[in-house]
Amino acid sequence: MTEETDIKPLQFHEMELDDRILKAIAKLGWQQPTVIQEKVIPLVLEGKDVLVRARTGSGKTAAFLLPVIQKILILKQSALQQETKALILAPSRELCHQICGVIKDLTIKCSREIRYVDISLPVDLSVQKPLLVEKPDIVVGTPGRTLQHIKAENLNFKKSLDFVVIDEADLVFSFGYEEEMKELIHHFPKIYQAILASATLSEDVKNLKMSILRNPVSVKLEEPELAPSTQLTHYHLNAEEMDKATILYTLLKLHLIRGKTIIFVNTVDKCYKIKLFLEQFGIRTCVLNSELPATIRCHSVNQYNQGMYDIIIASDEYALEKPSSLSNQDKNKKTKRRKDKESGVSRGIDFQHVANIINFDFPLDVQSYIHRAGRTARGNSQGSVLSFVSMKEIPLREKVEKKLKNDESESSFFKSYQFKLEEVESFRYRAKDAWRAVTRIAVREARLKEIKQEIFNCQKLKSYFEDNPNDLQVLRHDKCLHTVKIQQHLADVPEYIVPPTLKSLANITKKGKKREWRKMSESSNSKFQMKKSNPLLSMQFEGFNKKKKKN
């Protein structure tokens, strides 16, 4: 007889979780634990220190929050007074905000018992002091912000703290929190349970592990850094900047990209240049970068996840990811414009239902590519990454391909995306004029206008929106900036400039042309998530591929 090797997966109700937590899980629609949750939750409930290594989208956040909330509920049954029991540290304000959102969902049935505070927002310490005086059960913040509150004597963890969680530990160091972490450790009690979650195990993370964890259990998922090729498809297209703009305009205007999209660039200036460029064609987009207030960044992500708009242009500045690798000259340049160190776009943030990633600027290293591509094809959904590659960026693409190609026998990691610009010559003329219209002065004015406008929204309307939360939906972040002259006719696409192959693909006919376009634009994103097909396969139409019928 042979032993049965198939082990039945552990379910949530078999983990000895509180009924209130189980009800919250059921409300979220979670059918069963992810692999990482199944492994981590029992270990934390047993009181062990845990080092978790798994890629983004694997369910790490719930894996450490569920047992922490469960143990706090148990401790409160015999507690004589209210005390702060858990500290959760994350590298960016967006990620702190996201973690608090998950805490809210998981404690919806026990909100009176479990109280939490996000101290990461950049407000005066005195504003958050009254919240900390009440000693919330869970405090969420960045290392730097947490240390500020400790020095201001708003927080004291020496006697009450039972749990320390550090999420995205590898990013904590790349965001420059080494000194803060070393100082924070001295303010922790002698005995506490620690959980360290990280996508990679760098030397810095290993040093942190030695300082924070005691005889930890390591949980590492044997999985690739990216979703499999059956779920995530990688395309590349060689094009210089002007051609990149033309192709982007064509794909978006003709709705050849289906589903929600994130367009990544390497600088804040490029963010606004593309926004102003697309604005001239009536294509509305939202900008996300490190110069915007943290509250606005978090609100923009929430609205995107709720489906209020479908295109985000995000700057993934290299300075934020690898500050230590910059030269002194680059560091001096960086100080000219104020950026938020506690901002992160390509890592950590939970963008939901993203179908496409477009790398307008190719990422500067392999990890940046992985982090960008990790925004899509999450869970069981399909996704695609389309990277525009200029001549200067070809070495970067080759480096990524060499690193990520799983099998040496594979011919290529990237699929070549054939796009014949000759067939959309009319689009090129329009794109060329619109791109030239976006001058440096227009970009600078757009940056200032956007920041001033969002700071006004953030500060002046904050108290009003606290009293009227439903009105917050009116505050959109994809409004036109109007620093470039808008020509109304550019928003329409005359039928005669659309190639015949695209007309059949997009169901465009002379009769009822506007009706068909409207129907397509409204239904393409809402119905896309129901489909199993690759969101970028619609771009591989016959007219842009090499003709095969010659034989």
Q: What is the pLDDT of residues 500-524, one digit of tens each?
A: 767 665 554 444 444 444 444 444 4
Residue-range domains of the chain with CATH:
12-220 (3.40.50.300), 232-322+338-541 (3.40.50.300)
Q: Are 233 and 385 in contact (CB under 8 A)?
A: yes
- Please name the residue that has the structure tokens 């192959």: 501
Structure tokens at 450: 């956007």
Which of these, 217, 274, 233, lies nearest to 251 by C-alpha position? 274
Structure tokens at 238: 């060689």
Q: Phi/psi at 68 (nearest 5 deg)?
A: -65, -45
pLDDT band at 227 (very low <50, low <70, confident <90, very high): confident
Helix (H) or strand (E) holding 261: strand 260-265
More confident residue, 80 or 529: 80
Half-sphere CA count of 533, side-chain side, radius 13 A: 13
Three-class SS of residue 513? helix
Max Cα–Cα distance, the chain, nearest Å:
84
Beta-ladder partners of 52: 197, 219
Give dist(CA 258, CA 271) in Å, integer: 21
Residue 148's pLDDT is 95
Q: Residue 10 CB: number of other CB atoms within 10 A? A: 15
pLDDT band at 112 (very low <50, low <70, confident <90, very high): very high
Give dist(CA 53, CA 220) in Å, integer: 5
Contacts of 40 (CB under 8 A, 6+ apart): 50, 52, 60, 63, 64, 67, 195, 219
Q: Phi/psi at 170 (nearest 5 deg)?
A: -65, -30
| CB-neighbour burial class of residue 451 (10 A; exposed 0-12, middle 13-18, buried 19+) | middle
Check pLDDT > 80 for residue 1. Answer: no
Q: What is the mean pLDDT of the chain?
A: 80
Give dist(CA 59, CA 37) in Å, integer: 7
- Please name the residue that has the structure tokens 């796009």: 419
Give dist(CA 258, CA 246) in Å, integer: 18
| CB-neighbour burial class of residue 143 (10 A; exposed 0-12, middle 13-18, buried 19+) | buried
Q: Residue 345 CB: number of other CB atoms within 10 A? A: 26
Residue 450's pLDDT is 74
128-142, 235-249, 491-505: least confidently modelled range: 491-505
Residue 550's pLDDT is 46
Give dist(CA 23, CA 229) in Å, integer: 36
**pTM above 0.75?**
no
Give dist(CA 144, CA 120) in Å, integer: 9
Helix (H) or strand (E) holding 68: helix 60-76
Check pLDDT > 70 for residue 291. Answer: yes
365-375: b or e for each residue (b if 16 or more CB lie within 10 Å)?
bbbbbbbbbbb
Of the chain, the percentage scoring pLDDT greater than 70 comes to 74
Residue 330's pLDDT is 42
Q: Are 51 and 28 in contact (CB under 8 A)?
A: no
287-296, 462-471, 511-520: least confidently modelled range: 511-520
Q: Are 232 and 384 in contact (CB under 8 A)?
A: yes
